[in-house]
Amino acid sequence: MKLEKKPVVVADLPRAGLGNILFVWAKALIFSRLNDLPLEIIGWDKFKLGPWLRGERSKRDYTDFFQNQIFSLEKFRLELDIKLAPKSKKFFNPLLESSYNREELSNYKFIIFNQIPHWSSYFEGIREHRNLVKSAINDMLQPSLRNRLDECTPPMIGVHVRLGDFRPIREDEDFREVGGVRTPLQYFIETIDRLRKIHKDDLSVMVFTDGRAEEIEQLLNLPNVSLAPKNLDIVDMLLLSRSKVVVTSAGSTFGYWAGFLADAPLIMHPDHIHESIRSSRFNKTFFEGAIEDFVSPILVRNMCEIICAS
């Protein structure tokens, strides 16, 4: 009896930031589990020159974040095998929601995920598998980083202010029409104020940023607002995800991932909401969206639960 040979699912991680890399990894993970196929991951150790040239605080070096992901002879052989394999034996970026039979998949040697999804559909195919993805990140995390994370006190309100390679918006630009620009600090100030008014208390705020303290001085001068302690990017993301409330920067996949992983209300800028990050079922429990003039009953309930838990 001829044994069926299974193809290998490969997450070929791009030379990108942590949030964008996680999209590629998560899709490969989900596809491998849905189709009972082995998974290999390559690329965590790719060097990024941009952060050094721009003088960013984070150099986006993710080499030691996860277990068994450093460069090895086995990974070198895998990369070489992928390059040498005929094009007909490689299947790139299949849709997660599509159904593939075993015979069809067995025609391939490698099923490769290497594409960052479009900004309009970042979590398509991923949001329904949140528990799997969340558990896998925790399982992969280096034990020392897990211990470091557990030593940190979870923020009450966690605010992510993306600066880094995002540029300031120009006076002649409409924030709704441009991407890769910094969310105005005034938005964060107003959001913090509105959350505190809903809660009727001066809730503490921890700010996570890839910029310098002097760039967000307006925020840090607010009462009961502090800068997050310096940590590796993955610890920052996971600590932000443990906040009682998560506030994101528009267009930043780092903050979106923290929101995706959070069991908490997720506040997003109203001009840059293109699709839900988490499933509609999950968001019946925890609010996701912008704070409008009419405050969502779900958000009010979430804020009341924070009072009870305090």
List of the chain residues with pLDDT < 70: 1-4, 46-60, 70-71, 307, 309-310
92, two tokens: 């790139």
Could you report the per-residue pLDDT of 208-267, keeping only the tens digit for each? 999 999 999 999 999 999 999 999 999 999 999 999 999 999 999 999 999 999 999 999
Q: Residue 161 has what pLDDT?
A: 98
For residue 29, which phi and psi values (nearest 5 degrees)?
Answer: -60, -50
The structural domains of the chain, ordered by start, are 8-131 (no CATH), 154-309 (3.40.50)
Is residue 200 left, alpha or beta, with left meaning phi > 0 and alpha meaning psi from -120 to 50? left
For 166, 172, 185, 309, the CA distances from 252, given in Å and listed in that order, are 9, 22, 15, 30
Q: Residue 269 has what pLDDT?
A: 96
Q: Residue 3 has what pLDDT?
A: 46
Q: Residue 74 has what pLDDT?
A: 86
- DSSP letters, 63-80, are TTSBTT-S--HHHHHHHH
pTM attached to this predicted model: 0.92
Q: Residue 54 has what pLDDT?
A: 54
Q: Residue 123 has what pLDDT?
A: 97
Q: Is 122 helix (H, G, I), strand (E, B) or coil?
A: coil
Could you report the per-residue pLDDT of 197-224, keeping only the tens digit for each? 998 889 999 999 999 999 999 999 999 9
Q: Residue 2 has what pLDDT?
A: 44
**Rounded distance between C-alpha atoms, residue 242 and residue 224, angstroms:** 18
**Rounded distance between C-alpha atoms, residue 139 and residue 67, angstroms:** 9
